[in-house]
Amino acid sequence: MPLWLQWTLIVAGLTIIALLLVFIFRQSKALSEGKKRQAKADEFIRQRRKDMAESVRVIALAIEADQVEYSEACLRLKGLLDHLAPELLEQSPYQVFLEVHDRLQHMPTHQARQATETRFLEKLDKERFEIEKQYADEIRRAATAIRLHSFDD
């Protein structure tokens, strides 16, 4: 084999090795950045769950201290539990949050409530207060239970 061919093959081999090293380095860097992004996303989700669990506990405390209307609390708790632990809404005593939500979901809230006629709102409020009264004991028991529930996975 001629000497020039040997040197050409050696240079070609070294070039391929250098290119492969660059490729490996870039892939390694991309994997590292992907792991960092995933860790950041996991931390965000963990913190979000922690914040939702804290919100559930605050609402439960407000129920126990009679600082919030039961209907409002049930609507909020049902929404939080949908994301935090939806299976709880099918279990006793927590299912009361779903039951009250289902009985109240047809009622207007926020801007829709402001745009609704006063007489109709009075009728809806009367219905809402009756539902709150009907479920009051169950709501209080469920609030205590949900406040003490551990949401750690």
Task: Map out the domains of the chain as residue ranges.
Answer: 1-30, 45-153
Indicate the pTM of the whole model. Answer: 0.76
Query: Among residues 58, 57, 139, 141, which one has the least CA distance to residue 104?
Result: 139
pLDDT category at 109 given cuts 50, 70, 90 is confident
- DSSP code, position 68: S
* Pairwise CA distance, residues 20 & 95, whole Å: 59
Q: Which pLDDT belongs to residue 124? A: 84
CA distance 46 to 151: 11
pLDDT in tens, 123-153: 888 998 999 999 999 999 999 999 999 987 5
> Average model confidence (pLDDT) for the chain?
92
Percent of the chain with pLDDT over 70: 99
pLDDT class for 113, splitting at 50, 70, 90?
Answer: confident
